[in-house]
Structure 1
Amino acid sequence: MALSKILSEDFLTCIICRERYEEPKILPCVHSFCKKCLEEHVKVKLDRKRRFPCPMCRRECKLPEKGAENLEKSRLLANLAEVVNKVDEAKTQDKCETCALKEPPVDADATKRCLKCDDNMCDVCSAEHRRHGACRDHQLIPLGELSDETYASELRSRQQILCNHDNKTPAEVFCCACEMFICGTCVCLEHKDHACKYIPSAAKGGRESLANAQEEIGQQERRVTSLLSIMKERKMGLYRHSEKLKESISNREEEVIALVRISGDRMRKEVDEAMIQEKEVLDPMEKELELIQGCFVSFKEFTNALIIHGSDPEVLQIMANCLRRGKELTEMNLPSIPSTIRLTLDVKHVNNMSTVLRQCMGELRHAMDKELLWSFCVDLNSDPPETLSHVAVDAEGRVFVGVWCNKDTKRNKVNVYDVGRRLMATITNPELTGGSLAGIAFDQDGNVVVRSQSDNLVMIYSREGKLQSDFHSQQPHAVSVNSKGEYVIAGREAIYIHDKDGVVAHSFPDPLQGNAFKHVAVSVTGDILVSHPGAHKVLAYNPVSGVLKFTYEANGCGDGHVNVPKGMCCLANGDIILADDGNHRLHLLSPDGVFKKFLLTKEDELKSPQDVALNPDGKVVVVEERGAVKCFAFLD
Structure 2
Amino acid sequence: MAEAAAQSVLGTISRGHLECPICCCRFADPKMLDCLHNFCLNCLLELISRQQPNADEITCPVCRWVTAVPDTGLQGLPNCFFLSSLVDEFNKQERLLEDARADTRSCEECDEGLEAVSRCLDCDGNICQKCLDAHRKMKSTKKHRIVNFDPSRSQDFRKKDFRKEDWKQCHKHTNQELCFYCETCKTLACVKCAALDHRGAEHEYREVADAIRSYRLDVEQILQRFRRSEVVFKVTDESLTHARNRVRIMVARACKDITAKEEEIAKIRDKSRLLRDKVSQIGAERDRKFEEDQKSNRDKMERAEQIVAAVNNLIQQADDFELLDLKPKVMHNLKFHKKLKLRKAQHELSFIGVKCQDVVTDTHLGEVLQEKKWEMREEIFNVGQEEFETVTGIACLSNGDIVVVDNDKKQLMNCTSTGKYEGSVGREKLNDPWGVAATSDDLLLVTDKDYVKVFDCSLEFIHQFASSKDAENVDSKCRLDDIAVDKNNRIAVADRGRKLISLHHMDGSLITTIPHGDMVGGYLAIGIKERLIFTNYLKNQLICTTYTGDEVFNVDTSIGEIPVIIRPSGVCCDDAGDIYVSVDLNKGESVEVHHYSPEGVFIGCVARGIWYPGGLAFMQSRDLVVADCVTVKIFHRV
TM-score (norm. length: structure 1): 0.70
Are positions 1:579 and 2:546 aligned together?
A: no
SS where residue 27 of structure 2 aligns? coil
Question: 1:216 deviation in Å?
Answer: 1.4
User: 1:615 corresponds to which letter in structure 2?
Assistant: M
Change (3 A) 1:240 1:332: closer
CA distance in 2, matches of 1:138, 1:507: 67
1:50 corresponds, among 56, 61, 75, to 56
Are positions 1:398 and 2:403 aligned together?
A: no
User: 1:372 corresponds to which letter in structure 2?
Assistant: W
Are positions 1:337 and 2:344 aligned together?
A: yes
Q: What is the aligned partner in structure 2 of residue 426 from structure 1?
A: 422
CA distance in 1, matches of 2:517, 2:303: 54
SS where residue 609 of structure 1 aligns? coil
Contact 1:429-1:437 within 8 A present in 2 as well: no
User: 1:298 corresponds to which letter in structure 2?
Assistant: Q
Q: What is the aligned partner in structure 2 of residue 364 from structure 1?
A: 368
CA distance in 1, matches of 2:518, 2:300: 51
Question: 1:234 deviation in Å?
Answer: 0.7
Q: Which runs of 5+ in 2 are unaligned?
A: 1-9, 467-473
CA distance in 1, matches of 2:515, 2:140: 87
1:375 corresponds, among 352, 374, 377, to 377
Counterparts of 1:112-151 in structure 2, within 5 Å, are: 112-117=118-123, 119-121=124-126, 123=128, 130=135, 134-135=140-141, 137-145=143-151, 150-151=156-157
SS where residue 322 of structure 2 aligns? helix
Question: 1:385 deviation in Å?
Answer: 6.9
Moved more, 82-91 or 158-167: 158-167
Change (3 A) 1:397 1:356: farther
Are positions 1:567 and 2:570 aligned together?
A: yes
Are positions 1:77 and 2:83 aligned together?
A: yes
CA distance in 2, matches of 1:394, 1:490: 23
2:442 corresponds, among 446, 451, 455, to 446
Change (3 A) 1:415 1:101: closer
Q: What is the aligned partner in structure 1 of residue 181 from structure 2?
A: 176
2:215 corresponds, among 209, 217, 233, to 209
1:66-121: per-residue Cα shift (whole Å, max 9, x none)? Answer: 4322223233333333333333333333456999999xxxxx9986432334x243
User: 1:16 corresponds to which letter in structure 2?
Assistant: I
Change (3 A) 1:232 1:36: farther
SS where residue 206 of structure 1 aligns? helix
SS where residue 326 of structure 2 aligns? helix
Question: 1:320 deviation in Å?
Answer: 3.7
User: 2:325 corresponds to which letter in structure 1?
Assistant: Q
SS where residue 78 of structure 2 aligns? coil
1:629 corresponds, among 602, 616, 633, to 633
Counterparts of 1:166-315 in structure 2, within 5 Å, are: 169=174, 172-174=177-179, 176-177=181-182, 193=199, 202=208, 205-227=211-233, 229-250=235-256, 252-253=258-259, 256=262, 259=266, 266-267=274-275, 269-315=277-323
Q: What is the aligned partner in structure 2 of residue 416 from structure 1?
A: 415
Contact 1:588-1:599 within 8 A present in 2 as well: yes
Change (3 A) 1:229 1:21: farther
CA distance in 1, matches of 2:261, 2:611: 37
Change (3 A) 1:493 1:539: farther
SS where residue 614 of structure 2 aligns? strand
Contact 1:395-1:615 within 8 A present in 2 as well: yes
CA distance in 1, matches of 2:235, 2:364: 39
Contact 1:569-1:612 within 8 A present in 2 as well: yes
Question: 1:584 deviation in Å?
Answer: 0.9
Change (3 A) 1:314 1:598: closer
Question: 1:472 deviation in Å?
Answer: 10
CA distance in 1, matches of 2:515, 2:336: 56
Q: What is the aligned partner in structure 2 of residue 105 from structure 1?
A: none
User: 2:326 corresponds to which letter in structure 1?
Assistant: I
User: 1:278 corresponds to which letter in structure 2?
Assistant: R
Moved more, 38-47 or 610-619: 38-47
Identity of aligned residues (%): 15
Change (3 A) 1:149 1:61: farther
Are positions 1:37 and 2:33 aligned together?
A: no
CA distance in 1, matches of 2:517, 2:119: 77
Question: 1:630 deviation in Å?
Answer: 2.9
CA distance in 1, matches of 2:631, 2:231: 46
Are positions 1:346 and 2:354 aligned together?
A: yes
Question: 1:59 deviation in Å?
Answer: 3.8
User: 1:580 corresponds to which letter in structure 2?
Assistant: V
RMSD: 6.0
SS where residue 623 of structure 1 aligns? strand
CA distance in 1, matches of 2:504, 2:234: 46
CA distance in 2, matches of 1:477, 1:621: 22
Question: 1:377 deviation in Å?
Answer: 1.8
CA distance in 2, matches of 1:71, 1:599: 53
Question: 1:269 deviation in Å?
Answer: 4.3
CA distance in 2, matches of 1:188, 1:476: 78
Question: 1:318 deviation in Å?
Answer: 1.6
SS where residue 316 of structure 1 aligns? helix
Change (3 A) 1:254 1:559: same
Contact 2:503-2:513 within 8 A present in 1 as well: yes
Change (3 A) 1:283 1:82: farther
Change (3 A) 1:9 1:181: farther
User: 1:441 corresponds to which letter in structure 2?
Assistant: A
Counterparts of 1:541-560 in structure 2, within 5 Å, are: none
Contact 2:180-2:190 within 8 A present in 1 as well: no
Q: Which runs of 5+ in 1 are unaligned?
A: 103-107
Contact 1:490-1:519 within 8 A present in 2 as well: no
CA distance in 1, matches of 2:444, 2:435: 10
Question: 1:613 deviation in Å?
Answer: 1.1
Question: 1:376 deviation in Å?
Answer: 0.8
Change (3 A) 1:138 1:612: same
Contact 2:170-2:176 within 8 A present in 1 as well: no
Question: 1:46 deviation in Å?
Answer: 5.5
Change (3 A) 1:213 1:263: same
Contact 2:566-2:583 within 8 A present in 1 as well: yes
CA distance in 1, matches of 2:492, 2:157: 71
Change (3 A) 1:27 1:513: closer
Contact 1:228-1:290 within 8 A present in 2 as well: no
Contact 2:623-2:634 within 8 A present in 1 as well: no
Question: 1:612 deviation in Å?
Answer: 0.8
Moved more, 609-618 or 144-153: 144-153
Change (3 A) 1:632 1:20: farther
CA distance in 2, matches of 1:501, 1:314: 71
Change (3 A) 1:292 1:508: closer
Contact 1:372-1:630 within 8 A present in 2 as well: no
Change (3 A) 1:53 1:477: same
CA distance in 2, matches of 1:512, 1:395: 31
Question: How many residue pairs are counted as aligned between the two chains?
Answer: 596
